Amino acid sequence: MIQRIQSLYFLGAALVSGGLSFMVSFFAGDNGPVMLHDDFIFLSLFLAVAGLSLGALFSYKKRRNQVVLGRLAILISFTVFGFMLYHWYEVYQAASDRLGIGVFLPLLAIILLSMANRAVMKDEYKVQAADRFR
């Protein structure tokens, strides 16, 4: 059952959080771009979101667990986004640095995880409806 559409969404969220976040800059300033591996907190939270997304991807037999893992990943992604904006405002604002495209990666992960959770819930409703007809 890995060929379902929510599997693509979970995989996309894992790739955005785990892979793409290492390739783009988060803040651009006078000293050059600030990458993810420059701060351990962001690195660990992004890897947690990627791990939860992959965990949800491979727990396809337990749809309720998929939803719980997806919601937890969404919560962590919101936390990452908030920490990034706070960190930028407190540390880099005085140096007139600009936000990079990497700051918006948690938002992309949130969108993908929300779409995956919606597809999982649709499958769950279909299974419940089919069980009622038996």
Read out DSSP for the chain?
Answer: -TTSHHHHHHHHHHIIIIIGGGTS-SEEETTEEEPGGG-HHHHHHHHHHHHHHHHHHT-TT-HHHHHHHHHHHHHHHHHHHHHHHHHIIIIITTTT-EE-GGGGHHHHHHHHHHHHHHHHHHHHHHHHHHHHH-
Read off the pTM: 0.87
Position 50 in a domain: yes
11 in a structural domain: yes
Say if 116 falls within a structural domain: yes
Q: In total, how many domains does the chain have?
A: 1
Q: What confidence category does residue 75 fall into, taking pLDDT thresholds of 50, 70 and 90? A: very high
Residue with more model confidence, 91 or 94: 91
Domain region containing 109: 5-126
Higher pLDDT, 112 or 93: 112
pLDDT-derived band at 99 (thresholds 50, 70, 90) equals confident
User: How do residues 104-134 score in pLDDT, each as one tens digit?
Assistant: 889 999 999 999 999 999 988 888 888 777 6
